[in-house]
């Protein structure tokens, strides 16, 4: 049985691209928020959003997409 996918719509927005539909994901310990527009992941705590490095999320099913997107941004 696969985990149910949950999205936040309009509650938070991605600091990188402004998309306001974020998927709730986990890095195995913490709850994070993934933007499917720019494939960046964020951890929200005490009113601050901090970028989460894809390499630190061993159990996330989106790790490959996040790493690929980061590599493309760096090479552009």
At 30-67, the pLDDT tens digits run: 899 999 999 999 999 888 899 998 888 887 888 888 88
The token pair at 17 is 């691209």
Band (2; pLDDT cuts 50, 70, 90) = low
Domain chopping of the chain, boundaries = 6-75
Give the integer Cα–Cα distance in Å for 22 and 37: 9
């Amino acid at each position: 049985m696969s985990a149910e996918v949950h999205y936040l719509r309009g509650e938070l927005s991605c600091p990188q691209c402004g998309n306001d539909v974020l998927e709730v994901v986990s890095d195995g310990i913490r709850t994070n928020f993934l933007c499917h527009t720019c494939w960046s992941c964020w951890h929200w705590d005490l009113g601050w959003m901090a970028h989460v490095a894809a390499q630190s999320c061993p159990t996330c099913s989106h790790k490959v997409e996040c790493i690929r997107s980061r590599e493309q941004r760096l090479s552009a």
